[in-house]
Structure formats: C-alpha cells, structure tokens
Structure 1
Amino acid sequence: MFPWLNQVLSLHTVIWLLPIVFMFHDLEEIVTVEPFMRRNRMEIEKRLPSGIGKRLNKIFGMRTGSFAVAVGFMLLGVSFCTVWAGIALDQGGSLLPFAAALAVFFAHSFTHLGQSVLLRRYTPGVATAVLLVLPYSIYAYYRLFSADLLTWATAELGLLLGVGGVIPLLWLGHKTGTRLFKNGLDFE
C-alpha cells in the first residue's frame, strides 16, 4: 500500500493532509462530546480516581459551541505548523513545528482508544482516531523518515515541544470558548 501512496501523494500533500484529517477528527468530537458527556458523566466519575473524574467532567462537560472554539484554537496551531512545514520543504528549513503537531496528534489518538477501553464503549473521537488519525500519522512518519526529513531525535523533541505547546493553546481555547458562550452566544 505504501508504494502506491508514495506515487500518488507528494510530500507536500502528505503534510497538508494534517489539518484536513484534524478537521474530520475534531468534527466527530464536536458533534458527539456534549451528548456523550451528558449520558456518561456519572460513570466517568466512578471509573476514575475522585479528582480526575470530576476535573474531566468539568473540562469535557462544556457546551458544543465552547468546545468548538477550543478546537478552533487547536486548528490554528495545526495550520501554523503545516504552513511552516510547507515553506520548510521548499526552502530547506526545520520541520520541528510540524513534528510537534504530528506527535501530539498521533499520541492523542491513543487517548481515544484508552477511553473506549476504559469505558468499554464508543467515546467521542474514537472512530476517526482509528480510521483516520492513526493511519495518517503512521504514513506521515514513514514518509518523513524515508525522505530523511525527520530523525528520532527530532521526533522526540517534537513530542516534548508539542505537549508543551498544546497545553497553553488548549487552556486559552477552553477559556475563550467558555467566556464566549457564558455571555449569551449559546442559542439553546
């Protein structure tokens, strides 16, 4: 399968697929997270240690609109890293920001798998995590390593930078979304 994909997809296309796969994945989350949390809030609190379950319910118990704002912030970060990578491919620059975004996206898919295993059911985002995020991430890593554009050291550093960068971006997105929708932008 990889040889065929290598012929069909340029490296630029592989890089530009990141925000597209991200949008499909997060659309699944946006559409399903609020109703899922309403139905499963109590079970989540029971299955996780006391403080963690309540904290997750607070974070993921937000309205669909405020969650979408937080996802929008993440999309901006992913898009920035993708544009950077597109320019770096043409001009010989570093792909470290893209490596950071890809590492977090890849690792994020395992959180969805873990949630579904823990709860023994569908959880928001698991379908696209399995069908899109994991295959895309594996192929993107394969292409970047094959083209000698990524080393293990850069991939590891990317993961560290990605985790460090995603935390403030998520915080800002969640705070902004919560404020916007507390001030009457939620139409329900």
Structure 2
Amino acid sequence: MSRVSAAVTWGLLGAWVVHDAEELATMAGWVRRARPRLERLYPGVPWERFELSQAQVNVAIGLMGGVMAGVSALGARTGGRSPVFQSVLAGFGLHGVVHLAQAAATRGYTPGVATAPVVVIPFSVWAWRRLRQAGVVAAPGRAGVAGLAALPLVVGGVHAAAHLLTRRRTKAPRVHDRWF
C-alpha cells in the first residue's frame, strides 16, 4: 500500500474552488435570465422557487466551502480512507455529470457546466485512480451511491441555510413609531 498524496485529498477542495468560482460568478444572474426560457421549456416546474439573490449564492457557496474544507481535511488525516471523504469525492464527480445533464436538459449553458468536464470530472477520475493505486479503495462502488444520495441533501441543506441567513426580515413597527 502506498501513500495517498495531498494532491488527492486537498485537491478535492482545490477542484471545488475552481468549479464553484464559476458558479459564484454566474448563478444568480443566470437564474434570472434563464427563467423565461425555462418556463417555456418546462411549464410545470415552479421556477419562482429557484430565484436566488447574489447574497444567497455567496452564503451557500461559503457554507459548502466549509463542508468541502472539512471533508478534505478528513481525507488528508485518514490518507483518503475516510468513507465520508470517498463519498464526497464520488458525489463531486457525479455532480459534474449532473451539470452536463442539466445543460442538455435546458438546451444551453447552466452555471458550473464549463468547469464540469475540464475540472470536476477529470479530477474525480484521477483521484479515484490514485486511491486505487494506493490500495485505499477498489472502486467508487458504495461510496458513489452514498455520495450521489447525499449530494441533494447537502446542496439543499446549504441552500436552505443560505436562504434563512439572507432573507429580508421585516421589522415590525414599535408602538411608539406608529402615527395615531
């Protein structure tokens, strides 16, 4: 068994940063611009629920960055053997495939699709090869299933938290502020 390099474990965080920089720069504006076209393509979808402010995107990506940093640290500490690290690595790679499918389904650019085929998927394939060469895993197998299952939960969770953290709170008028 050989040692897994930090390029594999911390590389997950690096690949995520490159990928999410694209999403950070494009997501909020894309949602606003693409909504009319998406409503025509898929009229049954409640597209108004997908509206994102730039603040919400910023917070969601920041929260996900914390998750990815923690997972990468766990991967580094365990030499890539952590089931959590392996599941997130598998989920990250599958996430790249989802980006390609989203772009195909929407018939155009979607945030993240530019870096999915050149960063996300190649890094994930490379990292799995390194884990196998080091004798850490045989194949993504169960980790891939766990990563795919956890992906919508984690992404949904960070977006829900970002929504709660960035929503505008209406200030109730105090009694002495009212005009009588």
Q: TM-score, normalised by structure 1?
A: 0.78
Partners in 2 of 1:169 and 1:116 — Cα distance? 21
Partners in 2 of 1:180 and 1:158 — Cα distance? 31
Partners in 2 of 1:96 and 1:65 — Cα distance? 33
Q: Name 2:42's counterpart in structure 1.
A: 48
1:36 aligns with 2:39: no
Which sections of structure 2, spanning at least 5 residues, go unmatched? 170-180
1:114 aligns with 2:105: no
Runs of 4+ in 1 over 6 A off after TM superposition: none
1:100 aligns with 2:87: yes
State the shift of 1:63 in Å.
Answer: 0.7
Partners in 2 of 1:49 and 1:111 — Cα distance? 21
Q: Name 1:58's counterpart in structure 2.
A: 49
Partners in 2 of 1:64 and 1:109 — Cα distance? 22
Which protein has the bigger helix share?
A: 1
Alignment map for 1:131-146 (pairs within 5 Å): 131-146=118-133
Q: Name 2:175's counterpart in structure 1.
A: none
Q: SS at the partner of 1:130? A: helix
State the shift of 1:129 in Å.
Answer: 0.8
Q: Name 1:130's counterpart in structure 2.
A: 117
Counting aligned pairs with the same residue, the percent is 27
State the shift of 1:176 in Å.
Answer: 2.2
Q: Name 2:146's counterpart in structure 1.
A: 161
How many corresponding residue pairs? 166
Which sections of structure 1, spanning at least 5 residues, go unmatched? 1-9
In structure 2, do the counterparts of structure 1 residues 117 and 163 end up closer, same or farther at CA, with 3 Å as the change threshold? closer
State the shift of 1:164 in Å.
Answer: 4.2
The letter of the residue matching 1:13 is A
Q: TM-score, normalised by structure 2?
A: 0.81
In structure 2, do the counterparts of structure 1 residues 169 and 118 end up closer, same or farther at CA, with 3 Å as the change threshold? closer
RMSD: 2.1
Q: 2:91 touches 2:150 (CA, 8 Å); kept in 1?
A: no
Q: Name 1:19's counterpart in structure 2.
A: 13
Partners in 2 of 1:54 and 1:139 — Cα distance? 38
State the shift of 1:160 in Å.
Answer: 3.1
